[in-house]
Chains A and B, each alone.
Chain A
């Protein structure tokens, strides 16, 4: 029977106990803050009174979302989803707190939650309305997405007229119609270049997608078949999980399910606190990361043609009560590049790492969020104060920005003795090799080679990092099969090899990266670009280990390879094993060969017989390389994990080579290392003496423009960073580097604490 409100066509709140979603959201925030417990749950009554039933519900849901992911991904045609597993499903409370999530790109636990929170905040309950069978879509960067290509499908779950929760599914779509092709293109410098953005839009009712949506969306992207099948993947997974939840509710009762949702989040919060206390040490951990934005002279609007550096200082505080706080004060300003991010993406991505180290279990939910806090400076590159900011390749900054967290936590693990958990950091997961146009099947398409899902892993304190293994953003990543890439992309593999020395040296070596050499073949009209770190290493190494190697590019246009193939002459094949002694050029002539540190490029026409190298980075090293077991160095030489000349200059190992086999001379190595240690003392100076010289360079403003700009941006945004900088170098109050003095664009530089002072 209908209520009087329904008879009078008045909207009835869909939340619990007659509340609106907005009221529920505010209540959860208030109670959780006031009590220190999620939803005020001081006791976990359900879990404590009937633990087996509680765990049974959890296992059903967790198993169900993982199963939905594994099943649904087979619907996709995109190799990024089907081969690399770039998808994830998560289940939420009505207020958008995550209760359980699948494997995969779990950064989106937060971003999909942000989208649901956005809908709640904007009163979607009134207009456009939220009802059973609705389907919503979001990929708006400024709502809190990572970047445009991460497309969310969001489905409400109702039980007897009440909203029981939400299920969200996300896939990394191969192209979303940006100004450059591929899912993470170079080229966008403003939101309006970032591609097709959907802001939490209702795209279907009664479980059916609207025709206008299907037409508009498929006409707005390249590679519409990938778009379409990705969407079917997401919808299928969401509906599988919705059915699962309804089955659980039928079996367990709605009230028990509601209580379970609350308790599992509080349980997650407590579990996180417990792990922090078990594995780390209270105190303050500091680190910084950097990545280059070498845009001078690129084919971009003039105001974006500027070299700059994305700087991310991190101060991690582990408080007495095990509360984890990360403060990014001093970070660089957002800029006219596609590498900006949102607060949700940087914080949510941190859970991806924590799930691999501090909380390596299946209890990943928003409980951890309630046990931590973040200092996100407004106006920084991950909190732009202007909706015009571009985000299409936000991982460029994020992957670098997260490296301090590994190093910080690892110092805690070292102190506690959990050496097996130490990780010196993560590789910069690039280059991103991307392109688009009319492909070898004659279809309008795009590519983003997700080989970067398999980079070198950082060394631990007890063993080398694994080579060509994983990416921090997808611990289940995979490089994908060459045969599949060749079917889907107009590029033939001319080689796929490990890159010696790309992992950082150390007592334990960072895992090496690797390379793919790709030959253009069969596309009708095609352009290509790359995006990766080039001029800078994005980590530091740990406790004496070196950072993983920086990046570079190799490409060749208008080559003589057609002729060489016809004449059966040698071809450039395999990896670019030693870039100081280039091998490809010995078997190649071309009108243009690019071999430099310019690892970010904009679109260039790419035809048959053109060549492009994809170089996937290595991880950082751990410990002094002179402490490395010489037998391990011998193995590195024989397995071609390092170039022979670095065995001596970096590791101090004297060796002989006979018939291609390397043997390290242990006695001579011992002497060599002794000598190298002596040389270290001779060539180094006391840090305090060096600081005097460096201070003079600072006072004389002796540094490249991009370095000065980096400091000027951090100074303009942060008094704390400025004060600490000046205190460390003992520099007078009146010394300053201003952005205004560096002849850089004034566009977008809104927040500036010197605006009135200067």
Chain B
């Protein structure tokens, strides 16, 4: 791993949040290591219990993975599979909406919470492990926001110039 600025151990500690401040500060202040992605993807793969190759980490707990049939889907680290990666995974999640003072007051003192007449807080959970995957603070009626649609092929082919991960033959 001598070719890489940060090895698996360091990147794993970065993900864990256990790097010392001086290490983080150095990392923040240095020129960015363009090759980070390769090590990072491998580290993330090592951290999950399933074998589907990770194409792209999508969020805390969420990944875009490759299935045997070639499908690219959004998957939780607990193993729950949401949908095709081009769809909005939130539409396939569970939702809880804080739309009154009482529900808001579980999170904020009353005066420090949004006024539900103006704004609600939507929490999106994984239907299997119940991880809170995203929070939206939006007005009532607001469409569920499709946060990110990555162009995975351009990213691999033209930007990081890496082959797309493949499903391991069993």
Give a binary string over B130-145; 1 marks a CB under 8 Å from any A CB, 0 the rest: 1111111111111111
Using A282-B159, A416-B40, A549-B108 as known contacts, say yes or no to A687 and B124 having CB atoms under 8 A apart. Answer: yes
Chain B: minimal CB distance from A272 (Å): 13
User: Which of B24-32, B66-74, B162-170 is the contact stretch?
Assistant: B24-32
CB interface residues, B 110-154, toward A, < 8 Å: 110-115, 117-119, 121, 123-125, 127, 129-151, 154
Q: Please name all residues of chain A whose beta carbon is closer than 8 Å to the beta carbon of B50 when the two chains form the complex.
A: none
The answer, among B19, B40, B137, for a CB contact under 8 Å with A547, is B137
Query: A550 and B113: CB pair below 8 A?
Result: yes
Does A54 touch B at the CB level, under 8 Å?
no
Does A417 touch B at the CB level, under 8 Å?
yes
Q: Please name all residues of chain B whose beta carbon is closer than 8 Å to the beta carbon of A678 when the two chains form the complex.
A: 130
Q: Please name all residues of chain A whose beta carbon is closer than 8 Å to the beta carbon of B134 when the two chains form the complex.
A: 543-544
Query: B132 and A626: CB pair below 8 A?
Result: yes
Give the distance in Å from the alpha carbon of A385 to the alpha carbon of B84 in the complex.
42
Give the distance in Å from the alpha carbon of A551 to the alpha carbon of B121 in the complex.
16
Does A456 touch B at the CB level, under 8 Å?
no
Give the distance in Å from the alpha carbon of A570 to the alpha carbon of B150 in the complex.
59
Q: Please name all residues of chain A whose beta carbon is closer than 8 Å to the beta carbon of B34 when the two chains form the complex.
A: 278
Using A320-B151, A418-B32 as known contacts, say yes or no to A691 and B91 having CB atoms under 8 A apart. Answer: yes
Q: Please name all residues of chain A whose beta carbon is closer than 8 Å to the beta carbon of B19 when the two chains form the complex.
A: 462
Q: Please name all residues of chain A whose beta carbon is closer than 8 Å to the beta carbon of B24 when the two chains form the complex.
A: 420, 462-463
- The residue in chain B whose Cβ has the minimal distance to the Cβ of A499 is B112
- The residue in chain B whose Cβ has the minimal distance to the Cβ of A683 is B96
| Chain A residues close to B by CB (< 8 Å) | 275, 277-279, 281-288, 290, 292, 309, 311, 320, 407-408, 411, 414-421, 461-463, 501-502, 505, 507-508, 534-537, 539-541, 543-547, 549-552, 578-580, 595-597, 622-627, 643, 646, 649-650, 677-678, 680-681, 683-688, 690-691, 694, 697-698, 703-704, 706-707, 710-711, 724-725, 728-729
Q: Please name all residues of chain B whose beta carbon is closer than 8 Å to the beta carbon of A463 when the two chains form the complex.
A: 17, 21, 24
Query: A687 and B40: CB pair below 8 A?
Result: no
- The residue in chain B whose Cβ has the minimal distance to the Cβ of A547 is B137
Give the distance in Å from the alpha carbon of A275 to the alpha carbon of B15 in the complex.
22
Chain A: minimal CB distance from B35 (Å): 10
- The residue in chain A whose Cβ has the minimal distance to the Cβ of B6 is A417
The answer, among A279, A420, A507, A681, for a CB contact under 8 Å with B14, is A420
Give the distance in Å from the alpha carbon of A252 to the alpha carbon of B1 in the complex.
46
Q: Please name all residues of chain A whose beta carbon is closer than 8 Å to the beta carbon of B96 when the two chains form the complex.
A: 680, 683-685
Query: B130 and A680: CB pair below 8 A?
Result: yes
Q: List 10 tightest A-B contacts by C-beta distance, closest first.
A: A417-B40, A549-B112, A677-B130, A684-B94, A283-B150, A535-B115, A728-B143, A624-B132, A552-B111, A579-B111
CB interface residues, B 9-51, toward A, < 8 Å: 11, 14-15, 17, 19, 21, 24, 27-28, 32, 34, 36-37, 39-41
| Chain B residues close to A by CB (< 8 Å) | 11, 14-15, 17, 19, 21, 24, 27-28, 32, 34, 36-37, 39-41, 56-61, 90-97, 105-115, 117-119, 121, 123-125, 127, 129-151, 154-155, 158-159
Give the distance in Å from the alpha carbon of A420 to the alpha carbon of B24 in the complex.
7
Give the distance in Å from the alpha carbon of A407 to the alpha carbon of B158 in the complex.
24
Chain B: minimal CB distance from A457 (Å): 13
Q: Please name all residues of chain A whose beta carbon is closer than 8 Å to the beta carbon of B105 when the two chains form the complex.
A: 580
Give the distance in Å from the alpha carbon of A281 to the alpha carbon of B123 in the complex.
26
Query: A288 and B142: CB pair below 8 A?
Result: yes
Query: B123 and A684: CB pair below 8 A?
Result: yes
Give the distance in Å from the alpha carbon of A622 to the alpha carbon of B148 in the complex.
17
Chain A: minimal CB distance from B30 (Å): 10
Q: Please name all residues of chain A whose beta carbon is closer than 8 Å to the beta carbon of B28 when the two chains form the complex.
A: 420-421
Query: B143 and A535: CB pair below 8 A?
Result: no
Query: B17 and A284: CB pair below 8 A?
Result: no
Give the distance in Å from the alpha carbon of A622 to the alpha carbon of B40 in the complex.
19
Further 9 A-B residue pairs, CB within 8 A, beyond A288-B138, A417-B37, A501-B112: A287-B145, A417-B36, A536-B137, A537-B119, A540-B135, A540-B136, A547-B137, A680-B132, A687-B94
Chain A: minimal CB distance from B69 (Å): 23
Give the distance in Å from the alpha carbon of A461 to the alpha carbon of B57 in the complex.
13
The answer, among A706, A707, A729, for a CB contact under 8 Å with B143, is A729
* A-B interface pairs (CB < 8 A), number: 250
Using A281-B155, A416-B40, A580-B110 as known contacts, say yes or no to A539 and B137 having CB atoms under 8 A apart. Answer: yes
- The residue in chain B whose Cβ has the minimal distance to the Cβ of A597 is B115
Q: Please name all residues of chain A whose beta carbon is closer than 8 Å to the beta carbon of B17 when the two chains form the complex.
A: 461-463, 508
Chain A: minimal CB distance from B146 (Å): 6
Chain B: minimal CB distance from A207 (Å): 41
Q: Please name all residues of chain A whose beta carbon is closer than 8 Å to the beta carbon of B90 when the two chains form the complex.
A: 687
Give the distance in Å from the alpha carbon of A66 to the alpha carbon of B58 in the complex.
40
Q: Please name all residues of chain A whose beta carbon is closer than 8 Å to the beta carbon of B129 when the two chains form the complex.
A: 677
Q: Please name all residues of chain A whose beta carbon is closer than 8 Å to the beta carbon of B124 when the two chains form the complex.
A: 687
Query: B141 and A707: CB pair below 8 A?
Result: yes
Using A687-B91, A688-B91 as known contacts, say yes or no to A650 and B106 having CB atoms under 8 A apart. Answer: yes
Q: Please name all residues of chain A whose beta carbon is closer than 8 Å to the beta carbon of B114 when the two chains form the complex.
A: 535-537, 547, 550
Query: A461 and B139: CB pair below 8 A?
Result: no
Query: B150 and A623: CB pair below 8 A?
Result: no
Query: A624 and B131: CB pair below 8 A?
Result: yes
Give the distance in Å from the alpha carbon of A732 to the alpha carbon of B105 in the complex.
36
Chain A: minimal CB distance from B74 (Å): 13
Q: Please name all residues of chain B whose beta carbon is closer than 8 Å to the beta carbon of A502 when the two chains form the complex.
A: 112
- The residue in chain A whose Cβ has the minimal distance to the Cβ of B124 is A687
Give the distance in Å from the alpha carbon of A206 to the alpha carbon of B115 in the complex.
57
Query: A417 and B11: CB pair below 8 A?
Result: yes
Using A417-B37, A680-B125 as known contacts, say yes or no to A286 and B141 having CB atoms under 8 A apart. Answer: no
The answer, among A416, A596, A622, A687, for a CB contact under 8 Å with B144, is A687
Using A282-B150, A292-B118, A420-B28 as known contacts, say yes or no to A687 and B93 having CB atoms under 8 A apart. Answer: yes
Query: B147 and A681: CB pair below 8 A?
Result: no
Give the distance in Å from the alpha carbon of A543 to the alpha carbon of B148 in the complex.
12
Query: A277 and B159: CB pair below 8 A?
Result: yes
Chain B: minimal CB distance from A700 (Å): 11
Using A678-B130, A680-B96, A683-B96 as known contacts, say yes or no to A283 and B149 having CB atoms under 8 A apart. Answer: yes
Chain B: minimal CB distance from A497 (Å): 15
The answer, among A625, A627, A707, A729, for a CB contact under 8 Å with B118, is A707
Give the distance in Å from the alpha carbon of A426 to the alpha carbon of B110 in the complex.
22
Q: Please name all residues of chain A whose beta carbon is closer than 8 Å to the beta carbon of B91 when the two chains form the complex.
A: 687-688, 691
Chain A: minimal CB distance from B28 (Å): 5
- The residue in chain B whose Cβ has the minimal distance to the Cβ of A285 is B148
Give the distance in Å from the alpha carbon of A408 to the alpha carbon of B149 in the complex.
11
Query: B111 and A595: CB pair below 8 A?
Result: yes
Q: Please name all residues of chain B whose beta carbon is closer than 8 Å to the beta carbon of A283 when the two chains form the complex.
A: 148-151, 155
The answer, among A625, A646, A707, for a CB contact under 8 Å with B139, is A707
Q: Please name all residues of chain B whose beta carbon is closer than 8 Å to the beta carbon of A417 when the two chains form the complex.
A: 11, 14, 36-37, 39-41, 57
Chain A: minimal CB distance from B119 (Å): 5
Give the distance in Å from the alpha carbon of A311 to the alpha carbon of B140 in the complex.
13
Q: Please name all residues of chain A whose beta carbon is closer than 8 Å to the beta carbon of B11 when the two chains form the complex.
A: 417
Give the distance in Å from the alpha carbon of A71 to the alpha carbon of B91 in the complex.
56
Chain A: minimal CB distance from B150 (Å): 4
Give the distance in Å from the alpha carbon of A348 to the alpha carbon of B140 in the complex.
31
The answer, among A416, A579, A681, for a CB contact under 8 Å with B109, is A579
Q: Please name all residues of chain A whose beta carbon is closer than 8 Å to the beta carbon of B41 when the two chains form the complex.
A: 417
Give the distance in Å from the alpha carbon of A285 to the alpha carbon of B21 in the complex.
30
Give the distance in Å from the alpha carbon of A707 to the alpha carbon of B114 in the complex.
14
Give the distance in Å from the alpha carbon of A687 to the alpha carbon of B24 in the complex.
38
The answer, among A415, A507, A626, A646, for a CB contact under 8 Å with B58, is A415
Query: B155 and A282: CB pair below 8 A?
Result: yes
Give the distance in Å from the alpha carbon of A418 to the alpha carbon of B41 in the complex.
12
Give the distance in Å from the alpha carbon of A688 to the alpha carbon of B91 in the complex.
6
Q: Please name all residues of chain B whose beta carbon is closer than 8 Å to the beta carbon of A623 when the two chains form the complex.
A: 60
- The residue in chain B whose Cβ has the minimal distance to the Cβ of A580 is B109
- The residue in chain B whose Cβ has the minimal distance to the Cβ of A552 is B111
Chain B: minimal CB distance from A579 (Å): 4
- The residue in chain A whose Cβ has the minimal distance to the Cβ of B64 is A415
Query: B133 and A544: CB pair below 8 A?
Result: yes
- The residue in chain B whose Cβ has the minimal distance to the Cβ of A681 is B130
